[in-house]
Amino acid sequence: MARFLRNCWYMAAWSHEVGEASLRRRLLGDPIALYRRSDGTVAALVDRCPHRFAPLSMGTRDGDNLVCPYHGLTFDPQGACVHNPYSDQLPKGASIRSFPTVERDSIVWFWAGDEAKADTALIPDFSMLMISGHGAPLSGYMAMAAPYEMGIDNLLDLSHIEFVHKGSFAGMGVIFAGEHSLRQEGNRLHSNWWMTDVAAPPHTFGIYNPQMRCDHWLDMRWDAPAAMYLQVGACPHGESRDGGPLAHQAHILTPESENSTHYFWATTRGFPPTEESDAMLNGLFSQAFDDEDKPIIEATFRNMDGQDFWDLKPAYLGIDAGGTTARRILEKLIASETAG
Ligand code: FES
Ligand SMILES: [Fe+2]
């Protein structure tokens, strides 16, 4: 069975990563060149010249077109060959695939499937990243040598905080004091943790007295294939949640290949940023993702020795219902897309 859903929006990059020069990024197995046209919109083309397969991202720009660095064929942002330096004739079949893109909430999305089906209403909403009132969100990127489904397992089952993130998000038993719930709305999942009367979690430092008892929530929304939006909330124990979450986060995964993943993350801040507080948050997130999640996920993948996830008959703990359900939804969507 195909491993990737094609008719959906995937994150290609953070907006700030894409400029006039081409950014080469492997997405769903294909090398893609991303660059900004003169009107500010983003072009996405397969980064492989149809002549001798040179990376166009190594070439130069001619207006909005890309000039191949090897023998100079020129391609427009739709991938059509528009100039042949050796003849007035354009070579037959010398076009490359391009992808529709949309930029929203500081995210560059691209549509990987049938262009006629590229409906922008299907783009998951991450507008909460932009309206926190404390500046642009803090964002980052991590490369992960494991399939994207393993990243979904990790993010839809935050019980791992207690074991994996002892050094950063430090569960301190809050997960064991909490309740997990899973709700499905069509192809969307809500995998939520609710923890009452717990010590103030690290996200509240600087807002609440660290001695205070809190009610704490971690509400994760998942949209196929792998766009996750997390609300991190805490309020004084017994009080209302109406003040809203302390932080809105994006955890968005895009397959680089079948066995490697781009992990894009972002978080709003619960307080006006200073250089010091941003350095602290960056340090916390890089520790959590690079030093804690990445090693365990990659080691887990290596430990599967290339065997199929279901063939290995994974034990079921209940807390992992989110990841399991997401896998089933994805399999169903990919099967129906393949059949269609
Ligand atoms: S490889 Fe691009 S023009 Fe020859
Ligand atoms: Fe984690």
Query: Is residue 30 domain-shared with residue 136, that is, in the same domain?
Result: no
CA of 143 to the centre of ligand 2 (A): 14
* Dihedral sign computed on CA atoms, order 9, 13, 18, 22: negative
d(CA 192, CA 125): 18
pLDDT > 90? residue 245:
no
Q: Which ligand is nearest to the CA of 168?
A: 2
Domain end marker among 121, 148, 168? 121
Q: Is 154 found in the same domain as 228?
A: yes
pLDDT at 170: 67
Average pLDDT over residues 303-317: 96
Host domain of residue 47? 9-121
Q: What CA–CA distance (Å, rounded) separates 150 from 153?
A: 5
More confident residue, 133 or 257: 257
Answer yes or no: do 114 and 147 share one domain: no
- 191 & 174 share domain: yes
> Which residue has better confidence, 134 or 84?
84
Atom of ligand 1 nearest to the CA of 49: 2
Q: Is residue 165 located within the same domain as residue 273? A: yes
Is the Cβ atom of 218 under 6 angstroms away from ligand 1?
A: no
Do residues 194 and 55 both lie within one domain? Answer: no
Task: State yes or no: pLDDT of 136 exceeds 80.
Answer: no
Q: What is the CATH number for 133?
A: 3.90.380.10
> Domain count of the chain?
2
Which of ligand 1's atoms lies nearest the C-alpha of 72? 3
Atom of ligand 1 nearest to the CA of 56: 2
Query: Same domain for 132 and 273?
Result: yes
From the CB of 85, is ligand 1 less than 6 Å away?
no
Per-residue pLDDT tens for 10-34? 999 999 999 999 999 999 999 999 9
Vertex 15 angle, CA 222 and 284, to 5°: 65
Confidence of residue 113 (pLDDT cuts 50, 70, 90): very high
Are 38 and 50 in contact, with CB atoms under 8 Å apart? Answer: no
Point out the ligand nearest to the CA of residue 71. 1
Say how many Å lie between the CA of residue 234 and the centre of ligand 2. Answer: 19
Would you state the pLDDT for residue 29? 97
Cα(140) to centroid of ligand 2, in Å?
A: 14
pLDDT tens-place string over residues 252-264: 999 999 999 999 9
* pLDDT for the residue 107: 96
Domain boundary among 121, 136, 160: 121
**What is the phi/psi pair of residue 160, to 5°?**
-65, -15
What's the confidence (pLDDT) of residue 132? 64
HEC letters along 120-153:
HHHCCCCHHHCCCCCCCCEEEEEEECCCHHHHHH
SS3 302: helix
Instruction: Tell which atom from ligand 1 comes closest to the C-alpha of 68.
Output: 2
Among residues 95, 121, 147, the one where a domain terminates is 121
54 part of a folded domain: yes
Looking at residue 52, which CATH number applies to its domain? Answer: 2.102.10.10
Average pLDDT over residues 295-299: 98
237 and 300 both lie in a single domain: yes
Residues 108, 84, single domain; the answer is: yes
CA of 105 to the centre of ligand 2 (A): 23
For ligand 1, whether the C-beta of 73 sits within 6 Å is yes
In a domain, 28, yes or no: yes
Q: What is the rounded CA–CA span in Å between residue 248 and residue 61?
A: 38
255 Cα–ligand 2 center, Å: 18
Q: Are residues 108 and 223 in the same domain?
A: no
Q: Are 252 and 228 in contact (CB under 8 A)?
A: yes
Q: Which of 31-35, 95-99, 235-239, 269-273 has the lowest mean pLDDT?
A: 269-273
- Shared domain check, 135 and 95: no
Residues with CB under 5 A from ligand 2 (ion): 293
Who wins on pLDDT, 97 or 200? 97
Q: Does 45 map to a domain? A: yes
CA of 66 to the centre of ligand 1 (A): 11
> Is 258 inside any structural domain?
yes
209 occurs within a structural domain: yes
In the predicted structure, residue 168 carries a pLDDT above the cut 90: no
**pLDDT on residue 173:** 76
Ligand lying closest to the C-alpha of residue 296: 2
For ligand 1, atom 1, which residue shows the shortest CA distance? 52
The ligand whose atoms approach the alpha carbon of 291 most closely is 2
Q: How far apart are CA 13 and CA 36, in angstroms?
A: 12
With a 6 A CB cut-off, is 52 part of the ligand 1 pocket? yes
For residues 178 and 86, give the distance between their C-alpha atoms in angstroms, rounded to a whole number.
Answer: 69
Average pLDDT over the chain reads: 93
**Any domain includes 3:** no
pLDDT above 90: residue 131: no
Ligand 1 center to 80 CA (angstroms): 14
Residue-level pLDDT at 133? 65
Q: Looking at the structure, do residues 67 and 151 belong to the same domain, yes or no? A: no
Residue 188 has pLDDT above 90, yes or no: yes
Share of the chain above pLDDT 90, in %: 78
For residue 4, tell me if it sits in a domain.
Answer: no
The reported pLDDT for the residue numbered 167 is 75
Q: How confident is the model at residue 209 (pLDDT cuts 50, 70, 90)?
A: confident
Mean pLDDT (whole number) for 312-325: 95
